[in-house]
Structure 1
Amino acid sequence: MYKAPYELFNNQYGVRLSYIVSDVDKRNAESVALFSYSAYKLRSHRNQGFRIKEGRGLGNEALINFSKLPVQEQNVLIEKWGDPAKTTKHHQFKDFITPDAAALSFFSAYRLADGRSLPKEVILNYTTHASILNACHIIISNNSARRKAMGGVKANIWGKLAECVFNLDKKEFGHSLPPNYRRLQEKFRKYKKEGYTALIHRGFCNDNSRKVTVDVERLILSLYIAQNKPYVGDVSNDYLRFLAGDIDIFDFQTGEVFDRNQFCENGQPITLSEATVWNYINEPGNRIIVDKFRSDSLTFNSTHRPHHHRHAPNYSFSKISMDDRDLPRKMPNGNRVKAYYAYDITSGCVIGVAYSQTKDKALFIDCMRNMFHFLDRNGYGMPMQVEVEHHLVNTFKEDLMQAGVIFPFVRWCNPGNSQEKWAETGNRIKKYGYEKRYQDGIGRFYSRLEANKTKSEKIFDAQNNNYKEKTYSYQVLTADDKEIIEKYNNALHPNQKKYKGLTRAEVLAMYVNPELAQVDRALLLRYIGNVATTSIRRSQYVQVQYAKYSLPDPKVMLRLLPNNYEVKAYYLPNEFGETDSVYLYQNEVFICRCEKISAYNTANAEWSEEDPLSYSKQAHYVTKFDSMVKQKKAGLSRLKVVENTNYYAQGEVEVSLESALQPNERFDLPEDYHYEDYNRMNAINAL
């Protein structure tokens, strides 16, 4: 704690011994070194009253009577620290000012009504106020402290305290406490009653004090969000012209006309420099709002809008992500090939792909078919969840892509939020990590990075908008992309810390989710398969695409509707264009799965290894059919119908007489209708 060189003791001004002795082990760093410690001892012995206080006890220091020092030595002290009669109280008051850690903690944690914290300089200022008022409290409440600081006099104590507070060094104690003793006393009483909160100015962060500023800010921001996206300099110029009366500004939505008198303070217009306008616009809170008007949704979302933080699943096929893209290189007609990918998020593998020259729902269905072939070929189950966008897939929202139909969970990504779909990340990695490495012309002409910027050579013709650009056929582009997918899937997984030494394809195969359900082919093919209307023939087979497919059992005939042999056959050719089985539906109800009939050679001498099996299957089916017919036949009996002659009515028969029908005028023969006419009509009818 700081100790002043002077101290008032028993109404006498004393100088602390350490500030005047020259001995290294006893002097203060700021000592004026008037004499040695031994000289002090000698003077104290010879001169009565030279020492007004002995330095006995811990923390106590001997005081030398200022008035007993020679004039030369007094002048040295006055030149160094001032006249003790004028400065002693001030210096001694400083002795009681100690940093208030609790106040610093309180003001640092304090939050204003708008959620902001106090500025650093305000926190330090309020903490200093608390420390000074704490010192006032010690001096007032403690007689010993008051005697030490004020000479023990209690009269006019607040006047003396106010003088001490006012004379504090502003560089050392930056405060704004009132110099008037009444105001200081009032501040102290409020502080003792309310605590640290009393030191916070009531007008701090008050919107009323910023009303003019808010109006100016609103006008500047409104000018900045104009449709033509003006520069800051244009906004500043328009604001000054508005104040000068050169232009009027109104809100075309509400019709409100801005009153330039609202932009005055003390009768003078509030003029702003261009730098101030720039500061208003680029305050973080304001920048968010103006960018909402001036930027497209993609730019705004990627710059300002908060996003979710996620991590990849632990098992493959727990979630897949699907999205479309245009292949970077063009075809001769100037268009790009449309591609649709299905990614496994855990491994990053492409597990389904389709290509087309048009972006339509058929492209999505083709990708689903390709993915299903991949799953079926490798014996994987159906993925647990899929994330898709609304653009192409919305058509299937109520059937194929409804949660619980094919996929247990379906995530519909929000439109325009590309970062939500992992497939966007997969597309970027595939494009700039592999396509760029193995293909030419990959990048964008407007890319900032030189390595990703494509070259273009302008053709100066009548249109003045054509460029030389290498093109590729549809077949070449799709073949190149399939090759890239093969390289991409078999490259090392990017998370080598977790999957050390494993490729994406190996992670896909080794970390399959054990809870995967098997693919319901009958249900899946109803949505993504081809369909043909056919009929069941000879209680045995259906014909689809010129091939015959056998019923699994003759009893399937019992599931058909009465007198209706027509069914719909759903099928999905494999990558070689072959169809091994079809799935029959009648009236949207699944009937059975039919496998392809393998015909056997009629000549036994030419039989191959497959012919006996084919013969056995067909013979077994015929046997089952005969057995079914025999069983059903045994349940029936040959019956003969005879008249029951012993039947008598149990009660009397009531005979009711009905009146004869009256002739209808429509059918009455005319009077001139002769017998010859009747014979002629009979002859005609006989023909």
Structure 2
Amino acid sequence: MPIILGNIVAVSKEELVPHFFKSESTLYSNIQRYKDKPYGIKRVMSGGNGRQLLVDFDSLAGDIRDALHDPRKVDHILEQYYSVDPDATRYFSIYKFADGTYLKLDHQERYIINASVLKAALGLRDDRLNEWKSKGRSKVGLYNTIKADVLSFNDVLRKKYKVEHDLPTSSRFTATLNDFETRINDSFNYESLISKKHRNINSRKVNDSTMKLLNDMFADKIRKPTAKEIHEQYEGFISGYIEVVNNKTGELYSPKGYKSLSVSTVTNYLNRWENKLATHQKRSDDRQINMGKFKPYYSFEMPRFAGSMISIDDRQPPFKNLDGKRVWFYLAVDVGSRAITCAVHGDTKEGIILEFYRQMVRNYTYWGLCLPAELECEMSLNSSYKDTILKEGVMFDYVKMEANNARGKYIERVNEELRYRMEKGREGWLARPKALSEANQPGVDIEKVPRIPYKQIVNDCLLDIDKWNNAEHPTESGVSKWDFFLERQHPSLKAINYEAILPHIGIRTPSSCKVGNIRLNNGLCLIGDQGAVAKGERLIQVMKQIEGEDIDVYWLDDDQGEVLKAFAYVDGQCICELVKKPRPVRARIERTAADDLAESLLAAYTNTVDGFAKRQRDDLDGVVILREDAKPLKHQIFSQQKQYKYEDREPVVMPQIADVDDFDDDFGTYTSVRQSLKNRF
């Protein structure tokens, strides 16, 4: 719209191009052509440096002036008050109904025009009321004049702005104006202009109860009816010759209140996303297909370092061995480098999961690397380890288990690449009968596909892994996946926690410690400390705990069957690391530097124990035990009793007595000493 600058009316470039001039260059050329002439288009202000190009309105052609409208000429009283209300534009553009839907654009435009006209009408009303009061006129009939002005203003809106309002012209106009004027949060009541017909579901044929009935009928996973069959059943239901029973409540539906529907209406409603989301998943048990159709998926940036995350899963290469079975593989892919870092195989996936984690520790130990910081895996096989090795902080700092969610694991993409890019061309390859791509569907009967020996399948798959790892990294030109894996390990990775891992995946062997030697794997081990033979105070501390004791050794072998890592435990408590006992060559002439180092380690080990023993001996002082005389016992019954001792003696001959009567004693007289009861008291 033209603007007034003092006594000049100016028009911006945006109002002229492309409505009246095809391009900016056409406008500029016209300005230059009439620059020095007394007629023609003239420039008021040049553009640039934050200014906009302004053209003199009066210098434009008559048809352009008529189309743009001269703001100095007022054809209607409301033009002095009318302008598009920015608050109304903002309000209606972001307004949402209770179900979260927005207003359609045409409805937004209509409500913005209505609000702008009502705002102009309020300004006109206030000025007119003041004028009438100054003239002593009553305000009776004021709103009728405002209503008439608003009604006639539609002609101006159509002519100059190509729009029109649809405000009521009856007695409801005053109520509409008053409702709009009611302030809500220091703003006009814009919501009062929104029609109540929006979201009015009462007048719809397909209301919530009808939609639920259609969905319940369509969700039959046994018969799987079509939309046309559902329409026939529904029409039969409302006609009364079909009864419908709710399986959950046993309720018999009443046809009262349900309206007749067309086939297209039933089809359209059943095909709505919010209905398919439930019914299609109810009708199908294929979780992967349902997730692909209805479940939103995450999108992540790829890790920039190797070792940040590892993705693992099982797979069956598409080949049958000679007995008609397929080989199981369990793979690990470093997500940052895309390199496959661990692969084990077997007849069943349940039988290889433990060996898989053992092999992963072997590989990373052999390469001198830390285990990855994070693991993503499927839940079915790994859930049994969630409280042991897959507890966060044991093998991995972070663990993410996906329950039957193929899209949630990066390794699924690698498995697809192996299947279709590397294995597809080999003999015996089995196509998927339901593959989406026609090129991946079987071309011959699957039973006629040749079978491959087990060993050949395994060797070919391992060769594919090597080819995969040696291929170029997808985002790093000139760098293979394997080089990326070895050279760009994350700097914050932590050392392998063998002490916590081995009790769960290691081999348990009962043993004992005798003079610092522990038998293990048909050999001898010594007490270790951080991968080396222990000595000094650490050795003595451990010897105090396990010397002469029975211990449990949890250990892991390497690919050659030798001890890779071993730790000693007593009653579930980790005591120390065990290292293989060095064995230098006995003959000096055959010794190497390694033998000399081994002998020095043995000497340090032995000298530590000898030195401790000597210190212990030196700390011993001789003592004399002094005993005090025992205090006499109060009752010495048995200790003081004299014992009879038998001695051999000569017999003594007793003198013979001639006759008993020779004795003077009178043995015939007896005198009682018993007292009577009377004499006792």
The answer for the alignment partner of 1:548 in structure 2 is 524
Out of 480, 483, 488, the position equivalent to 1:503 is: 480
Letter paired with 1:198: S
Letter paired with 2:401: C
Matching of residues 107-146 of structure 1 within 5 Å: 107-130=92-115, 132-133=117-118
For each residue in 1:471-515, what CA deviation from the matched residue of structure 2 results, as whole angstroms up to 9, or x when unmatched?
Answer: 222211221111111111121112x2xx33222112212221112
2:359 matched to 1:382?
no
Show structure 2 runs of 5+ residues with no match: 3-58, 132-140, 183-187, 528-532, 639-681
For each residue in 1:391-416, what CA deviation from the matched residue of structure 2 results, as whole angstroms up to 9, or x when unmatched?
Answer: 22222222222222332x23242312
The answer for the alignment partner of 1:514 in structure 2 is 491
Structure 1 distance, partners of 2:489, 2:264, is: 60
Structure 2 distance, partners of 1:435, 1:155, is: 85
Structure 1 distance, partners of 2:595, 2:176, is: 110
Structure 2 distance, partners of 1:545, 1:445, is: 50
Matching of residues 145-156 of structure 1 within 5 Å: none
User: Aligned residues: percent identity?
Assistant: 23
Instruction: Say if 1:342 and 1:367, in contact at 8 Å, map to a contact too.
Output: no
For each residue in 1:517-549, what CA deviation from the matched residue of structure 2 results, as whole angstroms up to 9, or x when unmatched?
Answer: 222444433332223223445x25343343333
Structure 2 distance, partners of 1:483, 1:372, is: 22
Instruction: Say if 1:375 and 1:381, in contact at 8 Å, map to a contact too.
Output: yes
The answer for the alignment partner of 1:224 in structure 2 is 218
SS in 2 for 1:339: strand
Per the TM alignment, residue 187 of structure 1 is displaced from its structure 2 partner at its CA by 2.6
Structure 2 distance, partners of 1:508, 1:544, is: 34
Matching of residues 403-414 of structure 1 within 5 Å: 403-407=392-396, 409-414=397-402
SS in 1 for 2:543: helix
Structure 2 distance, partners of 1:394, 1:186, is: 68
Per the TM alignment, residue 319 of structure 1 is displaced from its structure 2 partner at its CA by 2.1
What's the C-alpha RMSD, in Å, of the aligned pairs?
Answer: 4.1
- Of the structure 1 ranges 483-492 and 301-310, higher mean CA displacement relative to structure 2 is found in 301-310
Matching of residues 375-454 of structure 1 within 5 Å: 375-407=364-396, 409-436=397-424, 441=429, 443-454=431-442
Out of 78, 84, 90, the position equivalent to 1:100 is: 84
Instruction: Say if 1:543 and 1:549, in contact at 8 Å, map to a contact too.
Output: yes
SS in 1 for 2:407: helix
Structure 1 distance, partners of 2:262, 2:297, is: 37
SS in 2 for 1:590: strand
Instruction: Say if 1:581 and 1:596, in contact at 8 Å, map to a contact too.
Output: no
Structure 2 distance, partners of 1:122, 1:58, is: 28
2:260 matched to 1:271?
yes
Instruction: Say if 2:121 and 2:150, in contact at 8 Å, map to a contact too.
Output: no
Instruction: Say if 1:93 and 1:164, in contact at 8 Å, map to a contact too.
Output: no
Structure 2 distance, partners of 1:629, 1:525, is: 33
- Of the structure 1 ranges 336-345 and 159-168, higher mean CA displacement relative to structure 2 is found in 159-168
2:337 matched to 1:340?
no
The answer for the alignment partner of 1:247 in structure 2 is 242
The answer for the alignment partner of 1:318 in structure 2 is 308
- Of the structure 1 ranges 577-586 and 633-642, higher mean CA displacement relative to structure 2 is found in 633-642
For each residue in 1:445-491, what CA deviation from the matched residue of structure 2 results, as whole angstroms up to 9, or x when unmatched?
Answer: 21121222233316xxxxxxxx2222222211221111111111121
2:192 matched to 1:204?
no
The answer for the alignment partner of 1:50 in structure 2 is none
Out of 482, 491, 497, the position equivalent to 2:462 is: 482
SS in 2 for 1:336: coil
For each residue in 1:558-599, what CA deviation from the matched residue of structure 2 results, as whole angstroms up to 9, or x when unmatched?
Answer: 34558x543333332222333366433333233444444465
Per the TM alignment, residue 348 of structure 1 is displaced from its structure 2 partner at its CA by 1.5
Number of residue pairs matched? 551
SS in 1 for 2:311: strand
Instruction: Say if 2:180 and 2:193, in contact at 8 Å, map to a contact too.
Output: yes
The answer for the alignment partner of 1:577 in structure 2 is 561
2:293 matched to 1:308?
no
The answer for the alignment partner of 2:353 in structure 1 is 364
TM-score under structure 1 normalisation? 0.69
Structure 1 distance, partners of 2:606, 2:65, is: 121
Structure 2 distance, partners of 1:170, 1:246, is: 57
Instruction: Say if 1:96 and 1:138, in contact at 8 Å, map to a contact too.
Output: no
Structure 2 distance, partners of 1:29, 1:641, is: 131
Structure 2 distance, partners of 1:169, 1:28, is: 18
TM-score under structure 2 normalisation? 0.70
Show structure 1 runs of 5+ residues with no match: 3-23, 32-56, 62-90, 147-152, 264-269, 459-466, 658-687
- Shift in alpha-carbon separation, 1:399–1:125, aligned structure 2, 3 A: same
- Shift in alpha-carbon separation, 1:641–1:511, aligned structure 2, 3 A: same
For each residue in 1:73-121, what CA deviation from the matched residue of structure 2 results, as whole angstroms up to 9, or x when unmatched?
Answer: xxxxxxxxxxxxxxxxxx9699789673534443222111221111233
Structure 2 distance, partners of 1:130, 1:620, is: 95
Per the TM alignment, residue 251 of structure 1 is displaced from its structure 2 partner at its CA by 0.8
Letter paired with 1:435: E
Per the TM alignment, residue 299 of structure 1 is displaced from its structure 2 partner at its CA by 2.6
Structure 2 distance, partners of 1:95, 1:613, is: 103
